[in-house]
Amino acid sequence: MIGIEDFGLRTRLRLMHAIVGVLFVVLFLRLYQLQLLYHSEFGKRSEENSVRTVIKEPVRGYMYDRTGRLMVDVGPSFSVTVTPVSFDTAQVPELSALLEMNPAQLIERINRGRAHSRFSPVRVSRDVTYEVLASVEERLYRLPGVSYDVEWKRTYETGIRAAHLLGYCKEISDAQLTKLGATYRQGDVIGSTGLEASYETFLRGEKGFEFIAVNSKGQMLGPLDGGSRDVDSKDGFDLILSLDLGLQAYAESLMANYRGALVAMDPNDGGILAMVSKPDFDPSVFSGVTPADEWVRLNNDPEKPLFNRATMTRYPPGSTFKMLLAVLALEQGTITEHTTVRCTGGYRFGNRIFKDLHVHGTVNIREAIQQSCNVFFYQLILKTGLDPWFDQARAFGFAKPTGFDTNEETGGLIPNTYYYDRVYGKGRWTQGQLVNLGVGQGEVGVSPLQMARYVAALANGGTLLQPHAVSRIYNKRTNRYSDVDAKPVNIGVSKKTLDIVREGMRWVVEKPGGTGGMARISGVPSAGKTGTAENPHGSDHAWYVGFAPYENPTIAIAVLLENAGFGGTQAAPVAGKVMRRYLGVPDDVWRPAPTAAVPTKDSTASVAHPDTTVLH
């Protein structure tokens, strides 16, 4: 035991305190030396320090067409950055002059970055020209905190636009930054619309980090620890599209002077061969920095060039919808292929007369499709019933989104009893309102994409396909391709019914008196249907849907031309040209056969004179 009796205790206690005291005095002296005597040196070194974290941007994935031709890749883009903590605000006038930007905007951008982190560089000007970059670089020595980044921007390798389908990238917004968190930082570019947005996670890749030692003059001394701390960036995945580049370019040129949309689809797998929405815009406008005035112009243009008419319009399909009702009636047994109706040019229901453009005489279902006889279909929907018709439309993919890659689409509108009860009230609507539906008029809204899918299902024998623009994704890290799932669904229509309807569609194109002769393809039998949708606000919208070849079809198409007039004279020629190009058939100018009637307006739903009767 240590006790008072131990005379050494006091000595030992003193020595203990003394040793501890000496050790702490040493630490205090060193602290004093470092923090007070050498402060200016270390302060400078910390300011000039010493390691820069350079973010290595991954290369965004490319896009290829179905034949492997490069459509979209990336090129270098230079951004000028400012690190708020080391930037002297006195330099704002000089820097803003160099960058040719408003000083207030420059300050605002720096402050926004400062709020995020004082120490990380904020991009104040993206995609500067080589001239601006060179002049900034010359003056870097007197612009502390200013630097530049090399990034990537989209470059478009071909003349095509496909702007709505491919989409564009934009600088990430504050709201997105908050929502998406750590993956992105201020000033990053993110897919904003189209495939760029929906495949963002695949295209983006992963950032890398490089730690570089620099001296006080900003000269790079080399990688820190021989680069052992660096993290490589991982490039984004490539998209292989089902698009046919040549066909897309051709379709775009054909649509150049129209407002409308065109969708061409492979009826065997649902792959989109061409998708055009006009008017459109040049996606490369967005690849660097979008000039503000250009953005305002695109947004405010009354023609709505940013709007994807191929997937987002809700127009009545007009007579192109007649096959749907024909399928339903044949399947129900309401009619057979031999049932005939005598068309006298109009149909009276109650005190309303629904007129037809021609007196078609006695027609069966095939002839009714061929000649687009309205009278046949006016009364047919009253027999099949509204809700079965609605169900049939749903089975063909209407009134719901198609699940297309871009996620930018409308489900459209198909009415049923529930819908009318809700809109008009129970018992406040009459069967008369249904008559127009039989010819695809009235409260019906469909998109060209839905129509292409519908005609593809008629073409391929009753399989509803999942339309998709991306067929495969190429993983650069594993060098593997993975297929994009596209789930086909069988609609459950008998072959007999389909054969009847398809034959009617073939007559539309092939037989004299058919309304779609201008879509004819020499040497290749094809089928189709014209439509002219009444438009209360202006000229009629022209529709054409079709497929070719008749046996074993390889292309299905839907064309919509807003306010263009007759489907048979406006939309059918465009569809015909696209199909001829795809099938490699010379684009012969179609000449009417001597006996053929001139293609005419094929449907209308306005009230006509009560000078017609309907016979069975």
Applying CB under 8 A, the residues found at the interface with another protein are 1-3, 6, 8-9, 12-13, 15-17, 19-21, 23-24, 26-28, 30-32, 34-36, 38-39, 41-43, 45-47, 49-51, 53, 85, 117, 119, 182, 213, 221-222, 224-226, 229
Listed residue (445, 161, 168, 164) closest to 307, CA to CA: 164
Instruction: Give the residue with the Cβ less far from another protein, 84 or 504.
Output: 84
Closest distance of CB 22 from another protein, Å: 10
**How many degrees, rounded to 5, is the angle at CA 536 between CA 532 and CA 540?**
25
Show the DSSP H helices in 482-538 as ranges.
495-510
**Minimum distance between the CB of residue 26 and another protein, rounded to whole angstroms?**
7
* Nearest distance, CB of residue 28 and another protein, angstroms: 6
Joined together, the tokens standing for residue 265 give: 């689809």
The Cα 193–Cα 174 span in angstroms is: 17
- CB nearer to another protein: give 17 or 139: 17
Q: Which is nearer to another protein, 1 or 598 (CB)?
A: 1
Q: Please provide the DSSP assignment of 186-224 as one string.
A: TT-EEE-SHHHHHTHHHHH-B-EEEEEEE-TT--EEEEG
First to last CA, the chain: 125
Structure tokens at 486: 């596209």
Q: Is beta strand 541-548 parallel, antiparallel or unpaired with respect to 50-56?
A: unpaired
Closest approach of Cβ 87 to another protein, in Å?
14
CB of 55 to another protein, least distance (A): 14
- 23 or 296: whose CB is closer to another protein? 23
Instruction: For the beta carbon of residue 315, count every other beta carbon within 10 angstroms.
Output: 23
Question: How far, in Å, CA of 557 to CA of 382, rounded?
Answer: 30
Distance of closest approach, residue 547 Cβ to another protein, in angstroms: 55
Smallest separation (angstroms) from another protein to the CB of 150? 22
User: Smallest distance from the beta carbon of 209 to another protein, in angstroms?
Assistant: 11
Q: How far is the CB of 230 from another protein (least distance, A)?
A: 13
Q: Are strands 361-363 and 463-464 parallel, antiparallel or unpaired?
A: unpaired
Q: 575-578 contacts: CB < 8 A, separation 24 or more? A: 575/262, 575/519, 575/528, 575/544, 575/545, 575/546, 576/518, 576/519, 576/520, 576/521, 577/250, 577/254, 578/247, 578/250, 578/251, 578/254, 578/262, 578/264, 578/274
| Burial annotation 587-612 (CB, 10 A radius, 16+ → b, else e) | eeebeeeeeeeebbbbbbbeebeeeb
> Smallest distance, Å, CB 242 to another protein?
40
Tokens in use for 110?
């720096």
Residue 117 CB, shortest distance to another protein, in Å, is 7
Identity of the residue, 213 or 289, whose beta carbon is nearer to another protein in the bound complex: 213
447-465 core/surface letters (b: 16 or more CB in 10 A; e: else): bbbbbbbbbbbbbbebbbb
Q: Shortest Cβ distance from residue 178 to another protein (Å)?
A: 17
In the structure encoding, which two tokens stand for residue 468, read together? 């998709």
| Nearest residue (CB) to another protein, 86 versus 268 | 86
Q: Which is nearer to another protein, 86 or 192 (CB)?
A: 86
Q: Say which DSSP state 35 is in.
A: I
Q: Which CB, 49 or 606, lies closer to another protein?
A: 49
Which lies closer to another protein via its Cβ, residue 225 or residue 303?
A: 225
Q: Closest separation between CB of residue 182 and another protein, Å?
A: 7
- CB closer to another protein out of 150 and 221: 221
Least Å distance, CB 180 to another protein, is: 15
Kindly tell me which of 5 and 485 has the beta carbon lying closer to another protein. Answer: 5
Do residues 463 and 457 touch, judged by C-beta distance below 8 A?
A: yes
CA distance linking residue 158 with residue 586, whole number of Å: 24
Strand partners, 122: 82
Q: Which helix (H) or strand (E) holds 77?
A: strand 70-82
Q: Which of 306, 261, 308 is nearest to 286 (CA)?
A: 306
Scored b (16 or more CB within 10 A) or e, 294-314 reads eeeebeeeeeebbbbbbbbbe
Helix (H, G, I), strand (E, B) or coil at 144: coil
